[in-house]
Structure 1
Amino acid sequence: MAKVALETCPNYEISKVDEAINKCISSLGGISSFISKGDKVILKINLLRPSLPDKAVVTHPVFIESVVKEVQNAGGIPIIADSPGGPFTENRLRIDYKICKYDEVAKRTGAELNFDTRFEEVEFPHGLGIKKLKIAKFALDADKMITLPKLKTHMLMQFTGACKVEYGLVPGYEKMALHGKFPSASSLSKVIMDIVERFPPTISIMDAIVGMEGLGPGNGKPKRIGAVLASTSPVALDVVAMSLVNLDPKSTPLIKECQSRGISDADISNIDIVGKNLDELRVYDFKHVSGSSKLSAIVQAIGRFAPPKPFVNEKCIGCGICKENCPNGQISIVTDGNKKRAKIIHDNCIKCYCCHELCPNDAIDLRRF
């Protein structure tokens, strides 16, 4: 039976985060049961795009710092790493680390920031969605991997957590190409679970102190949840995290895919939750993707058969990030009066919502009509 540790944490004060994370790890056997002296440990964070920590787009730097110290106490060598959306280059990583304040964590703790942007093509002999895929070298060279997901909604997948965070093992624009090949939530779920099963984390520790509700994973609103979760099973962790924010796990594409694979951890009745009581911490007013729209109930009912489309709003500055990351090449930058702005060709849009995820200016709206 999978075990998930659940603890409360009211804010990002370092002492409180340290206590909550230590309790979670201790409930699962202690850090020394996962990390040995000299282990090269990748801390796989959620670095969607450069964003200030209080926006709840990325794993909070204080959360990462706390896990860094746990790994160091066990004699491990922590390396903070991810492949964000868009270009996977050393210069881009330096910018992202600085804006997200991860460079400050490295300075305070001595942890290493990953700048290795190499990748290798890896075979997936048992893959149900893919048989080979390019994977970032930082993951292949590590002795252990600890994933540090951020609890957020996701416009395509409904929820992003311990399973979806491993999609970041795919380097840079390769993720964009995958969206083009696997445009639906169900098909992408197969790819994600192939990656999770091929590269299972040593342990996953979720930042659910402040999550993101509404139009996640990049343009929703921060929502205080006040929790830290940990498990050696990313599937079980996601099931409990979804339940924590009052989302039925069985309604999400990833958990449906897990159930089709016969993964027992996809059923909460097969999960041993230790620490705090789930029902006492449940957040009932958390706004999910389906509940974030202001459309009427009638329009929503019709809209179930017409997924929302991305539309450019007045906040667009024509930076071109959406154009660079559109897997179908359906976005151009045009001159509109005296300013530049993005233009989306909807006829061939596959509704992957990469433009919405990666826009740094919240300039992409999602509407059905």
Structure 2
Amino acid sequence: MSRVLITDATYTNIRDAVDRVFASFPLPVAGKQVLLKPNVLRRSEPEAGVTTHPALVRAVIAKLKVLGASRVLVGDNPGGGGHAGGNEAAFRATGLYEASGEHYTNLGASSVRVPTKNRLMPTIMISRAVLEADLLISLPKFKTHGLTGFSCAVKNSFGFLPGGQKGQAHVLAGTPYRFAELLVDIYAVRVPDLVIVDGVLAMQGNGPAAPDLYYLGKVVAGQDGVAVDRIVCHLMGILPDLARTVTYAAERGLGEGDLARIQVEGDLRPIAGFALPERFSAQDPAGLHARVGWDPRPPLPSFDAGKCNGCMTCVMECPAQALTCNGVPQVNAELCVSCFCCQELCLTGAVQLGSLDRHGRPTTTHTRVRQAP
């Protein structure tokens, strides 16, 4: 039976939570090379809740040193390539470069081609460090995602891919279902040995780069990443049959997707009032998302003219070439695959998922941090 830990944490005392994680899930760290894979979506301040917080990375590095790791590396492949400022620039902006110190590595610097079981991408280029590490520890962010519903352990492995492959994957998949299958097949190339989720400051609403945050004050962890994802979905209020990455991964034998077969230590109650992405609409009057309706059509991105600075990053990085810009970006609905790369990479918050009001402002933007009850 898979086990998952849910423990209280703040960014000031997160070392206590990390100590508890390693006590619950001991790893043979001594003498090993360990790769930490945070979620570094793009350049963003830690307080924006877009990326894994540097306090967690710093705490895990310190713990691994105490346990005798021979080498610790910290790396990811942020989106956007050169247009978004590059790998190191993303790490510096998020505070993760300073937190990682000498352990920072550019995962995109060296890669190898490996086979997958996915018919759309039968081979992929993957960062060499992912395969060479003796132990892989995934450090995802507890947040929603407009395409997949949520982003956690399985989705975090998408960062294994350097270069423009992530955009190519979105275009080849074309639908949320096929994209979920592709994510699982990438995850299967190198399954993490431990997953530690930064749920201290969570993201709700139309993630993965939404301004609507929820101070949850939790760390979720386990050695079965699929089980961790299943628990995160339960906490958010996403029903099992809508968490496609969990379903596919469990069918592939990559982990446990049945809540009844997961031993949980901690508070398993769904988060009251946690806002799901627009296409996952809550219908439980108690706010616990016991019943969820799902719109199979992902929303198109919309653009706030008041926030857009005309940098053209979204146009240049759109893998489907669905955007043009004449003052404010416009989306071609026939070409858009709803990958939301434009939202992920927009540094001014001008890209939103959903409709605009008559003044050209997004109707679903709520810049706030909600406190857990």
TM-score clears 0.5: yes
CA distance in 1, matches of 2:242, 2:76: 28
Distance 1:363 1:293 in 2: 23
Deviations 1:73-115 (A, max 9, x none): 12222111000111179961221121111222134xx433436
Shift of the 90–350 alpha-carbon distance from structure 1 to 2, 3 Å rule, reads: closer
In the aligned structure 1, how far is the partner of 2:76 from the partner of 2:170?
Answer: 18
Q: Which structure: greater helix fraction?
A: 1
Q: What amino acid maps onto 1:59 in structure 2?
A: T
1:64 to 1:172, Cα distance in 2 relative to 1, 3 A: same
Question: Which of 27, 43, 54 is matched with 1:50 structurally?
Answer: 43
Q: Deviations over 1:15-39 (max 9, x none)?
A: x1000111122112x3xx33231x2
CA contact (8 A) 1:203 1:231 kept: yes
Amino acid at match of 1:247: I
Question: 3-state DSSP class of the match of 1:44?
Answer: strand
Is this contact kept in 2: 1:184–1:352, CA < 8 A? Answer: no
Match of 1:289 among 277, 284, 306: 277
**Cα contact 1:180–1:328 (8 A) shared by 2:** yes
Q: After the TM superposition, which residues 307-318 of structure 1 pair with which residues of structure 2 at under 5 Å, given as runs?
A: 307-314=298-305, 315-318=307-310
What are the equivalent positions in structure 2 for 1:82-121 lying under 5 Å apart? 82-87=76-81, 92-107=86-101, 110-114=102-106, 116-121=108-113
Counterpart residue number, 2:362 = none
1:218-367 to 2 correspondence within 5 Å? 218-261=209-252, 265-274=256-265, 276-279=266-269, 282-290=270-278, 304=295, 306-314=297-305, 315-334=307-326, 336=327, 341-367=328-354
In 2, are the aligned partners of 1:155 and 1:216 still within 8 Å (CA)?
yes
The answer to whether the 8 A contact 2:146-2:298 is kept is no
Q: 1:357 to 1:292 in 2, by over 3 A?
A: farther
Question: What is the count of residue pairs matched by the alignment?
Answer: 345
Amino acid at match of 1:79: L
- Distance in 2 (alpha carbons) for counterparts of 1:303 and 1:23: 37
Structure 1: how far apart are the matches of 2:92 and 2:163?
A: 19
- The aligned residue for residue 22 of structure 2 is 25
Q: Distance in 1 between matches of 2:218 and 2:294?
A: 33
| 1:176-232: CA deviation from partner (whole Å, max 9, x where unpaired) | 011010121110111111122221111111111111000100124221111111111
Displaced runs of 4 or more, over 6 A = 88-91, 291-294
Q: 2: CA distance between counterparts of 1:305 and 1:231? A: 30
> How big is each residue's C-alpha offset from its partner over 1:235-288, in whole Å with a ceiling of 9 and x where there is no partner?
0001111212333233222123235435660111111113x2323xx4111111
Q: Normalising by structure 1, what TM-score?
A: 0.86
Instruction: Identify the residue that residue 297 of structure 1 maps to in structure 2.
Output: none
Range with greater deviation from structure 2 (157-166 or 262-271) = 262-271
Distance across 2 between alignment mates of 1:235 and 1:343: 37
Structure 1: gaps spanning 5 or more residues: 295-300
* 1:152-186 deviation digits (Å, cap 9, x = unpaired): 00000000001100000011311001101012111
Distance 1:249 1:85, change over 3 A: same
For residues 351 and 93 of structure 1, what CA distance do their matches in structure 2 show?
A: 24
User: Secondary structure in 2 aligned to 1:105?
Assistant: helix
Q: From the superposition, tell whether residues 114 and 254 of structure 1 become closer, same or farther in structure 2 (CA, over 3 Å).
A: same
TM (normalized to structure 2)?
0.85
Change (3 A) 1:224 1:121: same
Q: Distance in 2 between matches of 1:80 and 1:90?
A: 20
For 2:365, the equivalent position in structure 1 comes to: none
Partners of 1:70 and 1:127 in 2: CA distance? 36
In 2, Cα distance between the equivalents of 1:259 and 1:137?
26
Counterpart of 1:172 in structure 2 is: 163
Q: Counterpart in 1 of 2:150?
A: 159
Amino acid paired to 1:187: R
- d(CA) in 1 for partners of 2:88 and 2:215? 29
Residue 287 of structure 2: aligned partner: none
Judging changes above 3 Å, is the alpha-carbon distance between structure 1 residues 259 and 105 closer, same or farther for their aligned structure 2 residues? closer
The CA distance in 2 between the partners of 1:271 and 1:302, in whole Å, is 25
Shift of 1:332: 2.6
Unaligned runs of 5+ in 2: 283-291, 357-373
Q: Against the structure 1 CA distance between its residues 115 and 266, is the aligned structure 2 distance closer, same or farther, given a 3 Å change threshold?
A: closer
* Partner Cα separation in structure 2 for residue 90 and residue 116 of structure 1: 15
Check conservation: 1:310, 1:365, Cα contact below 8 A. Answer: yes
1:298 corresponds to which residue?
A: none
Q: Which residue of 1 aligns with 2:135?
A: 144
Identity of aligned residues (%): 26
What is aligned with 1:12? Answer: 11
